[in-house]
Structure 1
Amino acid sequence: MPQDKAADGTGRRLMHTRTVECNGYIRDDGLWEVEARLVDTKPFTQAADHYREELKPGDPVHDIRLRLAIDDTMRIHEAEATMQATPYPTCIDVEPILQRLVGESIGKGWREVVRRKIGRLEGCTHLSELLGPAVTTLFQTMSYGKDPEGRDSMDEQRNSGERPFFIGGCYSWRTDGPIVADKFPQFATKPAPRD
């Protein structure tokens, strides 16, 4: 294939691939856990320099992982990062930085907490970016509760009388919208009058 032509005939050439994978778990100790991984690759060989060896196509430029464990109130009990592959040896110096988040709560003002606890030049841009999908994965992990086929199912949540944490969290789950009115009418509010 010529370097300036794509195999699919689009007139473009793949230069970079970023993959983000997140998995959420409920642990035997009752904590919720997320493992998140960011991998950057190039489809061409990258020459060696005095910081690292030559990278073949598909070898990771970045392979960054984080793990968070939280309780039902979204308070962080454990936080760790692992830099499996980095462009520079100094990148691994930031691995302990997530420990600063232990004891903090995920919720309103979360981004500000991260900015306050982890200075821009103390952390890793890619690790900070990975926190976003990790946290939203935690919300998805918790959404059906600890017993999704039983007492924590959506039907049971509907009948429990307790407001699920996801109500009011996005456009579809706004209290004045049709989804809350249908699925959780006890928490629905009337739409604001339009001008």
Structure 2
Amino acid sequence: MSGGPMIPGDDGITREEMHQRRIDFRGYRRSDGLYEIHGRVTDRKTTDFTPAGGSRVVPAQAAIHDMGVTVVFDREMVITAVNTFMSSHPYRSCVGGGDTLQGIVGLRIGAGWNAELRKRLPTCDTCTHLREILVPLASAAIQTMTTERSRDMVQALDAAGNPAKIDTCHAYGRTRELVRNLWPDQYRPPEGERG
């Protein structure tokens, strides 16, 4: 059941903020005809923090993690380059945790993305946080390309010759108004409206 936004404190419970995580994605069209997505994650604690097994103290509100990835891709969503950065990280050994991301060069952003990431990026050799950024990065890339490829996406057909976009999300569900407007022959009335 979905309702209005939950506002902390509306229920009479007091809360002490302990952690802040920000994930930001920016999509770009480049002058060379390619596209880029920049993904960045920052983690901060509200009190001084000593990482497990670490010897240094990260002061309150200083970034424990400030790292990210830039993925360059073409119009067909095939990755042509990957770059990473780590401005803040809890351990010296974190550096180099983005090197394995070169393994996604040549991968197409789309169906099967998460399975390919699991296959290509060994957990023990890949920074967890950079790997985590890649999962929603695919959605950000697709959203970036919506204006470039919206006509292509609506016209794309599946193996059976039906619009590929149908049933890919709530709005494109076969019983929804959007499908009725775009593909009336594919529309199916909701269960309660069938005669």
Q: Which residue is 2:116 aligned to?
A: 113
Q: 1:54-65, aligned counterparts within 5 Å?
A: 54-65=57-68
Structure 1: give runs of 5+ residues left out of the alignment. 1-6, 146-151
Alpha-carbon separation, structure 1, partners of 2:14 and 2:187:
51
Q: Which residue is 2:41 aligned to?
A: 38
**Number of residue pairs aligned between Structure 1 and Structure 2:** 178
Q: Which residue is 2:186 aligned to?
A: 189
Structure 1 counterpart SS, 2:96 = helix
Alpha-carbon separation, structure 1, partners of 2:51 and 2:138:
35
Q: Which residue is 1:15 aligned to?
A: 18
Alpha-carbon separation, structure 2, partners of 1:140 and 1:50:
40
- Change over 3 Å in CA distance of 1:192–1:120 after alignment to 2: farther
Q: Which residue is 2:92 aligned to?
A: 89
Q: What percentage of residue pairs aligned between the two structures are identical?
A: 27
Alpha-carbon separation, structure 2, partners of 1:54 and 1:102:
36
- Contact 2:42/2:63 (<8 A) preserved: yes
Cα deviation, residue 176, structure 1: 4.9
Q: Deviations over 1:141-180 (max 9, x none)?
A: 11111xxxxxx7x6xx39x983399824322123553213
Q: 1:38-187, aligned counterparts within 5 Å?
A: 38-47=41-50, 51=54, 53-145=56-148, 157=151, 162-163=155-156, 167-168=165-166, 169-182=168-181, 184-185=182-183
- Contact 1:45/1:56 (<8 A) preserved: yes
Alpha-carbon separation, structure 2, partners of 1:181 and 1:144:
22
Alpha-carbon separation, structure 1, partners of 2:88 and 2:24:
16
What is the Cα-based RMSD across aligned positions, in Å?
A: 3.3
Structure 1 counterpart SS, 2:131 = helix
Cα deviation, residue 105, structure 1: 1.0
Moved more, 17-26 or 119-128: 119-128
- TM-score normalised by length of structure 1: 0.77
- Contact 2:175/2:190 (<8 A) preserved: no
Moved more, 28-37 or 169-178: 169-178
- The amino acid of 1:191's aligned partner reads R
Alpha-carbon separation, structure 2, partners of 1:67 and 1:139:
15
- The amino acid of 2:92's aligned partner reads P
User: Once superposed, which parts of structure 1, at least 4 consecutive aligned residues long, lie more than 6 Å away?
Assistant: none
Structure 2: give runs of 5+ residues left out of the alignment. 1-8, 158-162
- Contact 2:26/2:39 (<8 A) preserved: yes
Cα deviation, residue 189, structure 1: 1.3
